[in-house]
Amino acid sequence: MIEQLLHTWQDPHSRHALLVHFPVALCALGVLPLIALAMTGFKSYNLKIVCLAWFAIASLGAFLAGQAGQAARPDVQAATPPLTAAQADLLHDHQELGEKGWMWPLIPGGLVAITFIDRRGTRNAAGALAIIASIGVGGVIGYTAHLGGQLVYVHGLGVPQRTPVP
């Protein structure tokens, strides 16, 4: 089992697939702890820490997934048969969004950090903006994931060759 996990980790395509789901899920669900924080009037210290950690971990996960995706790109570009123009465009769009994917979760995280300022108006405005930003981040990360899913499931790129069953 450990041998299989090490093999998966060494293959950039598999590593990307393994890593990408965690930040996608965190970004898609990031609004939930923010709503819980809003229910406290953006006052709960513990929920602020949870939200900060949530978005920091999502950012780190997106960074690691992006690095694995960068490592996998040369193999995808060297695919046989060569990429069609549509596939190359899709890969380009996915890569452009993915390269910056680690930054997006830092926006609601930074806004949560502002809620530590002990002024009600500032705290509430920053918290409300964090909720809006987290919805936007979920959308951008979700769209990036959708493009990656199109590459894999529609175009069959980045997956091992299937061998016929005897």
- Interval 142-164: pLDDT, tens: 999 999 999 988 988 877 665 55
> What is the arithmetic mean of pLDDT over 80-109?
92
* 117 has pLDDT over 60: yes
> What is the arithmetic mean of pLDDT over 58-84?
88
Kindly list the distances between the CA atom of residue 19 and the CA atoms of 14, 53, 85, 103, 121, in Å, as whole numbers in the listed order.
9, 18, 28, 16, 38
> What is the arithmetic mean of pLDDT over 17-44?
96
Closest among 63, 27, 49 to 141, alpha carbons compared = 27
Residue 162 DSSP SS3: coil
Q: DSSP per residue over 46-90, as a string?
A: HHHHHHHHHHHHHHHHHHHHHHHHHHHHHHHHT-SSPPPHHHHHH
Range scoring the smallest mean pLDDT among 27-31, 69-73, 107-111: 69-73
Is the bond leading into 164 cis (omega within 30 degrees of zero)?
no
What pLDDT score does 160 carry?
67
Measured between alpha carbons, how far is 102 from 166 in angstroms, rounded to an integer? 44
* 26 has pLDDT over 90: yes
What pLDDT score does 161 carry?
63
**Residue type at 90 in one-letter notation:** L
Q: Where would I find the H helices in the chain? A: 2-10, 12-29, 31-38, 45-77, 85-99, 106-114, 120-149
Measured between alpha carbons, how far is 84 from 73 in angstroms, rounded to an integer? 15
Q: Given pLDDT bands bounded at 50, 70 and 90, which one contains residue 59?
A: very high
Portion of the chain with pLDDT greater than 90, in percent? 69
What pLDDT score does 165 carry?
56
* 136 has pLDDT over 60: yes
